Chain A
Amino acid sequence: MGDWITQSSQLIASVEEPHGAESHGGDHGDGHAWVSWEGLLVYVAIVVGTLFVLMAQAKKGLNNRFFTNKLTQLFEQVYLFIENMCVGTIGAHGRRYVPMIMTMWMLVFSGNLLALFFPTSPTADLSFNLGLALVSVAYVQYEGIRANGLFGHLGHFAGPKLGGFLALLISPIIFVIEIVSELMKNVSLSLRLFGNIDGGHRAAEAMNTLGAGIYVPFGAFLLPIKLLTVVVQAMIFCLLTAVYLSLVTHHDDDHGHGHEAEAGHAEVAPAH
């Protein structure tokens, strides 16, 4: 178990060829291998280290008047963009979620950028994306429970408040569907990011194979469209997180509805 540090020194190579148990057993792999735990560690370390170096540089330029440091201006633009997104999607209380969503944006964006120049990257790994999505959805649930209370939040899943017999019949079905849809949020968030970034790699590889006979790397011409994907996917990931947050917290304004949902749940509960 102690030799994973020595293993990690040959990670880039380990990506190129199948690596022990981590290599997948599919037929259509043709050399496309998945990075091991240590490899992912290195890529995450690259991303996080770069982020911290940039942030430390940008932190020097902070003052209360006017940011002259280019890096600080860049981070300020990112902050304002995320803040705009949060406030526009969630509402006035969305400013609270800016740090979390901005961290997410920076991680996803720098991971996607890394994918442009490296054979793989954190966001081209489904496990990383699934972790990110799980944290995102779990945070949404946590915020929902904090905003509406546990029963109020569960009452959200039961759909609209129905009266009498209908409630016993329909609300459990809606409840199950909503739970499944919550689980699917994880899958959709992670699979979307993974599919886009890894799909870019696959497309570049395929086009490189196409041009291998005449020594032209056609895959390199995909760079502009991949750059677009990088920006759009980072934005969509954060935007969807913000949308999910707004869905569970938008009853903050009128507490009356939250209590209604809670009452509705109280009727539904015996049906289970």
Chain B
Amino acid sequence: MTGHIFGLGIGLAALGVGIGLGMIGNGAMQGMSRQPEAIGKIQVAMLIALAFVELVFLLTVFIVPGSLKI
């Protein structure tokens, strides 16, 4: 049972992180298309933001199993 809950939790985390990554990509692309000369800076900021959002998922993956005592 806990395994199922774990899977569901991971799926939910992936859902949220996917939405977050998509929003970051959306914003970055809009910014890039509005200001093509600032693509370099936007890309760097976008990558940093992506890294932080991604970290949330990784934390979920590595912390949740321990707290659920699987």
Interface residues, chain A, with chain B CB atoms under 8 Å away: 26-28, 85, 88-89, 188, 191-192, 195-196, 199, 232, 235-236, 239-240, 243
- Give A111 to B39 CA distance when docked, in angstroms: 29
Of chain B, the residue at the smallest CB distance from A195 is: B58
A27-B70, A28-B70 given; A188·B55 CB < 8 A:
yes
- B44 on interface, CB distance cutoff 8 Å: yes
Q: Report 9 cross-chain contacts, Cβ distance below 8 Å, ordered by A residue.
A: A27-B70, A191-B55, A191-B58, A191-B62, A192-B55, A195-B54, A199-B61, A232-B47, A236-B47
| A239 and B48 in contact, given A27-B70, A28-B70, A191-B62 (Cβ under 8 angstroms) | yes
A188 vs B48: C-alpha distance when bound (angstroms): 12
Chain A residues with CB under 8 Å of B38's CB are none
Determine if A89 and B62 form an interchain contact, defined as CB atoms under 8 angstroms apart.
no
| A27-B70, A28-B70 known; A192-B48 Cβ under 8 A | no
Given A88-B40, A89-B44; 18 other pairs, CB 8 A cutoff: A26-B70, A28-B65, A188-B52, A191-B55, A191-B62, A192-B51, A192-B55, A195-B54, A195-B57, A195-B61, A195-B62, A196-B58, A236-B48, A239-B44, A239-B47, A239-B48, A240-B48, A240-B51
Contacts of A192 in B (CB 8 A): 51, 54-55, 58
Range class of the B interface residue count: 10 to 19
B1 at the interface (CB under 8 A from A): no
Alpha-carbon distance between A191 and B59 when the two chains are bound, in angstroms: 8
A195 vs B59: C-alpha distance in the bound complex, in angstroms?
Answer: 9
Residues 28-44 of B, flagged 1 when their CB comes within 8 A of A and 0 if not, give 00000000000011001
Complex: chain A residue closest to B41, CB-CB? A88
Given contacts A27-B70, A28-B70, contact A236 B62 (CB under 8 A): no
In the assembled complex, how far is the CB of residue B20 from the closest CB belonging to chain A, in whole angstroms?
15
Closest chain B CB from A210 CB (angstroms): 16
